[in-house]
Structure 1
């Protein structure tokens, strides 16, 4: 199965996490990694499994690198029925209610278009001792990547 990993980052940590997820899945799947700023919404394919790796910026907002992608998703309103995706979110629990909100916004926007989220929604906390690389690899190993996407 083709796995498309899309990352949205402000400081580059999401890109690091995306590369770690890709490394874990590369042995069993055809994996591609894209910065959301370089990925067109029209290229979302229900035959692929998508992984969104997204940080949180400011007061619980999407990172600057993810905004154009999700703005285009809102503007074009594609029907994503049949698209399967998973989310690895990044944030810092010192921000309370807005902790990891970027990944949650990403999931909400995709499900609003008909996509289905699978697996555990990962929420990395920068205030812990857990390294994002380690958590990303562990999460990817447990991720139930579908054998095929169904429409």
Structure 2
């Protein structure tokens, strides 16, 4: 099964995280990495495993590169039954109630359309000493087992 990694970012960190996840999955799952701004909702395929990498921007909003994809999900309302996905969210605990909202917003949009979230919804904290790409590499070690499940 192929893995599709979509990232939403404001500063570029999401792309670095997506690339780190792709490196872990490269041996067995032929990952493809796309900026959400450049990925069409109609290209979502239940035969792929979806990994969503999403930062949080402003006051708990989606980053600018995630907005076109999120808006298209809202407008098209595709049936995503059968699509399985995992989420790596990014945020900063100094923002309290809005910490990691970007990943949560994307997860909610996908599940509302019938997709199923699997595995740990990772929430990276920018205030921690752990770099996001390093945390993503460690988190991604659990993905091959999830991808192989039916």
TM-score, length-scaled by structure 2: 0.97
Cα distance between partner residues in 1 of 2:4 and 2:14: 15
1:21-100 correspondence to structure 2 within 5 Å: 21-100=21-100
Q: Which runs of 4+ in 1 moved over 4 A?
A: none
Cα distance between partner residues in 2 of 1:79 and 1:28: 28
Local SS of the residue matching 1:47: coil
Cα distance between partner residues in 2 of 1:146 and 1:18: 16
Q: Extract unaligned runs of 5+ from structure 2.
A: none
1:99-138 correspondence to structure 2 within 5 Å: 99-138=99-138
Local SS of the residue matching 2:133: helix
Match of 1:147 in 2: 148
Cα distance between partner residues in 2 of 1:23 and 1:30: 10
Cα distance between partner residues in 2 of 1:41 and 1:48: 13
Cα distance between partner residues in 2 of 1:146 and 1:128: 28
Local SS of the residue matching 1:65: helix
The Cα shift of 1:147 comes to: 2.2
**Alignment size in residue pairs:** 149
The Cα shift of 1:146 comes to: 2.4
Local SS of the residue matching 1:26: helix
Deviations 1:24-67 (A, max 9, x none): 01011111000001100000000000000000000000000000
Q: Extract unaligned runs of 5+ from structure 1.
A: none
Q: Which has the higher helix share?
A: 2
Q: Say whether the 8 Å CA contact 1:47–1:148 is kept in structure 2.
A: no
The Cα shift of 1:90 comes to: 0.3
RMSD: 0.9
Q: Say whether the 8 Å CA contact 1:88–1:136 is kept in structure 2.
A: yes
